[in-house]
Amino acid sequence: MKQFNVAILGATGAVGREMLKILEEYDFPVGELRPLASARSAGTTVPFKGQEILVREAREDSFEGMDFVLGAVGGGMAKKFAPHIVKAGAVFVDNSSSFRLDPDVPLIVPEVNGADAFKNKGIISNPNCSTIITLMAVAALNKISPIQAMTACTYQAVSGAGQAGLVELEEQMAALAKGEAPARKTFPHQIACNVIPHIGDVLDNGYTAEEMKMQNEGQKILHLPDLRVSCTCVRVPVMRSHSISVTVKTREKITVEQANAAIAAFPGCKLVTDFEGRDYPTPLDTSDQDLVWVGRVREDLTCDTALNLWCCGDQVRKGAAANAVQILQLLAQAK
């Protein structure tokens, strides 16, 4: 089997470590693995297939000889290193938001628009986590009748804010259990025993940048330039796995029976109609795995051509690291 040299830019962070775990779990044919990080993390090691691999400092010449580079860094570092990755002849699969809306950069959810990945010019973008999970849940409906609009409310786990978000929720819950005042650093308000209906910077239209991603990225991924999405993003005191309630308006009416059959057959989705006596998934059900679980599919009571559904998916895996590795699998299978 052909092997591929893979670098991970940001290998010591939460998403980078998850990428390492998934590469091993999927048995991706890695020849050389090159973990890269900032100078502060260089010299440490990361585990891979029973070995401890030395982490190198990411430099402009770090990508020679690589076939693929997985990006798990912020937008600044992604933009800095992207030209050097492309110059070295590698394909850069970037998890930041830097290139998502660039018309020359494919924005890929493999099960939804995998063919677009082969139009890359050296860079492929991984979509926003909530966008991935939501589009996985609704893509089957779009195959029956084009989606015209969606109204969504996301319930986003603290893992979406990185390791600091997880630590803050844990520390706040421990403080409350002791009767102490919880400290706050990562989130604008206490997140333990609370919800915060605000993620990202507020734009001129009153929506946040996080909320607009579902429309802007959804248009590109689904090839629906006229798609309209009204979204509210809420941070909730859940460790891992995002949940989304979404109303999907299609051009023609889709029955609940048709929707259930299509979702159940869609790759990467699990339809929940009777799981432990319920017809819906929860974040705990969907953590640490790659399927998007979909339930509570029902007719909307305000529009004859709309359906409501509830979906959950692991933000760190399918919403980030696993989707990126699945893009590598797609590209590797064609070589």
* Paired tokens of 92: 């850069």
Q: Which fold has domain 4-127+320-333?
A: Rossmann fold (3.40.50)
Closest to 37 measured CA to CA, from 26, 24, 28, 46: 46
CA 134-136-138 angle, 5° bins: 70
Relative orientation angle of helices 14-25 and 322-333, to the nearest 10 degrees:
40
Secondary structure (3-state) at 116:
helix
Secondary structure (3-state) at 159:
helix
What residue spans define the domains of the chain? 4-127+320-333, 131-315
Phi/psi at 13 (nearest 5 deg)? -80, 175
Average confidence (pLDDT) per 10 residues, the chain, 335 residues: 94 95 97 96 95 97 98 96 98 97 98 98 98 98 98 97 94 98 96 98 97 98 98 98 98 98 98 96 97 98 98 97 98 90
d(CA 302, CA 171): 43
d(CA 121, CA 246): 34
* Residues with catalytic roles: 129, 242
d(CA 166, CA 335): 39
Cβ atoms of 212 and 231 closer than 8 Å? yes
**Which ranges constitute the DSSP H helices of the chain?**
14-25, 75-87, 110-113, 129-144, 163-177, 209-222, 256-265, 283-286, 322-333
Phi/psi at 160 (nearest 5 deg)? -65, -20
pLDDT attached to residue 1: 67
Relative orientation angle of helices 129-144 and 209-222, to the nearest 10 degrees:
40
pTM, entire model: 0.96
Cβ atoms of 63 and 74 closer than 8 Å? no
pLDDT attached to residue 195: 98
Secondary structure (3-state) at 139:
helix
CATH 2.60.40.10 fits 131-315, yes or no: no
